[in-house]
Amino acid sequence: MDPAPAMFDAMLVGWARQQQSRLLGKKTVADRVSLVRRFAAFNGTYPWQWTAEDVEAYFSAQLSGQSPLAHSTVRGQQSDLRMFCSFVTDARYGWGAACLEEFGQAPVQVCHDWNTVDHVAEYEGRPGRRALTYDELQALFDAADERGEDIRRRGRKGVLSAWRDAVMLKSVYAYGTRRREAVMLDLHDLRHNPRAKDYGRFGAVEVRFGKASRGSPPKRRTVLTVPEMDWIVPLLEEWTSEVRAGFGAGAHPALWVTERCDRISPRRLDEVFALVRDLAGLEQALELHCLRHTYITHLIEFGYPERFVQDQVGHRYAATTALYTWVSDEYRNRLLEESLHRRAQRAQTREGRRTR
């Protein structure tokens, strides 16, 4: 057995086990291991041979191609590479001593402050992932409805699927759910809210597959149906009581089912949004997650307290909610006008006191 690749494989197995013991997800572990393998293959060297220059060469290449990596992706990959180097240079695991004995070289940390990305901006996401304007949101929903009507007029198959897609997109906005949260909803996740009896079983949605963090299980939360979004109630009522049965889903628990009586996939949800977005003539940079941004922004504009919004969308920190908020110019101008009005009233009050 060639000792060099055997040592490298053993390092990766040990690192994977270390992450698994922290309850990190399988995909997270697999992606990190894959990155280290790609980095080694690019440089044609093993961890005990790596230098800081190898890091610079690898990421320079990743940023100079036809599709350069996003800022947040580069920072994330550099962080993962730094973690691997910290693992193999930790004396408690003995990799340094083993490599020194076998190859005469020991691994060192190659990711430093001077050759990695600084985290200086709170939000590093793509600019296209923004909140929609009210006109854009209406255009999106109109395009979703018109798609079903067009299929009906042509006498073609797919009317029920188009109807499902329209309601599904509207519900993603009405409850501010993430992609996986939306597709993992079951019928029994539709809940009554004693304080909103008029909404029946659609007074709240129980999200059981919220975004996990640091190896924790999926986070759960209850998203209340707010009065400004109560138009979703009759749509969900019609979907669950009439239209969904047309798919022949039977006892399948999923709220959103496919033509093959299976749960709709996150990828399909992305495809639906992209299709309707293009029909509406919106920017191609816009993604499904924009609906969640829009939901947060609109709750703020409706006047809901930040803590309420934070609980609705399942953010651990209020600062995270603030990063997703883009209040419209109309809303900001309204706040400015109200502030100016209050200032004028105070000035009139003071002037009235002087004249007396």
At 106-130, the pLDDT tens digits run 999 999 999 888 754 444 455 567 8
pLDDT of residue 126: 58
Pairwise pLDDT comparison (255 vs 214), residue with the higher score: 255
Residue 345 clears pLDDT 50, i.e. is over it: yes
User: Phi/psi zone of residue 281: left (φ > 0), alpha (ψ -120 to 50 degrees), beta?
Assistant: left
φ/ψ of 75, rounded to 5, equals: -65, -40
Amino acid at 59: F
pLDDT of residue 320: 73
Q: What is the domain-level CATH number for residue 26? A: 1.10.150
Of 52, 129, 122, 78, the residue nearest 69 (C-alpha): 78
Which is it for the CA torsion 130, 133, 138, 139, positive or negative?
negative
Q: What is the domain-level CATH number for residue 188? A: 1.10.443.10
pLDDT of residue 326: 67
Pair 264, 170 in one domain = yes
Task: State whether residue 186 is helix, strand or coil.
Answer: strand
pLDDT of residue 215: 67
Residue 334 included in any domain: no
Decide if 56 contacts 112 (C-beta within 8 A). no
Residue 115 included in any domain: no
Share of the chain above pLDDT 90, in %: 67
Pair of tokens at residue 307: 């803590």
Residue 7 clears pLDDT 60, i.e. is over it: yes
Residue 208 included in any domain: yes
Pair 268, 154 in one domain = yes
Per-residue buried b or exposed e for 53-73, using 16+ beta carbons within 10 Å of the residue's own CB = ebbeebbeebeeeeeeeeeee
Pair of tokens at residue 200: 């029946």
Residue 177 included in any domain: yes
Of 222, 216, 221, 256, the residue nearest 236 (C-alpha): 256
Q: Tokens 């929903």 label which residue?
A: 141
Residue 299 included in any domain: no
Answer with the one of 287, 310, 328 that is the final residue of a domain.
287
Task: State whether residue 210 is helix, strand or coil.
Answer: strand
Residue 307 included in any domain: no
Pair 173, 230 in one domain = yes
pLDDT of residue 279: 96
Pair 99, 156 in one domain = no
pLDDT of residue 123: 45
End-to-end CA distance of the chain: 100
Pairwise pLDDT comparison (354 vs 340), residue with the higher score: 340
Pairwise pLDDT comparison (109 vs 213), residue with the higher score: 109
Pair 181, 282 in one domain = yes
Pair 175, 88 in one domain = no
How many structural domains compose the chain? Answer: 2
Residue 356 included in any domain: no
pLDDT of residue 71: 79
Pair 84, 197 in one domain = no
pLDDT of residue 330: 63
Q: Tokens 């409706």 label which residue?
A: 302
User: Phi/psi zone of residue 200: left (φ > 0), alpha (ψ -120 to 50 degrees), beta?
Assistant: left
Residue 77 clears pLDDT 70, i.e. is over it: yes
Task: Give the confidence band of 328 by pLDDT, cuts at 50, 70, 90.
Answer: low
Pair 217, 275 in one domain = yes
Half-sphere exposure of residue 194: CA atoms within 13 angstroms, side-chain side: 0
Residue 156 clears pLDDT 90, i.e. is over it: no
Mean pLDDT lowest for which of 188-202, 221-235, 268-282, 328-342?
328-342
Decide if 187 contacts 253 (C-beta within 8 A). yes
pLDDT of residue 52: 95
Pair 174, 76 in one domain = no
Residue 247 clears pLDDT 50, i.e. is over it: yes
Q: How far is CA 162 from CA 69, 115, 151, 190, in A?
A: 34, 49, 8, 22
Pair of tokens at residue 19: 């992450």
CA distance 231 to 162: 19
Task: Give the confidence band of 9 by pLDDT, cuts at 50, 70, 90.
Answer: very high
Residue 19 clears pLDDT 90, i.e. is over it: yes
CA distance 204 to 181: 14
Residue 32 included in any domain: yes
pLDDT of residue 318: 76
**Domain housing 214:** 134-287
Pairwise pLDDT comparison (319 vs 234), residue with the higher score: 234
Residue 299 clears pLDDT 50, i.e. is over it: yes
Pair 190, 281 in one domain = yes
Q: What is the mean pLDDT of residues 193-218?
A: 88
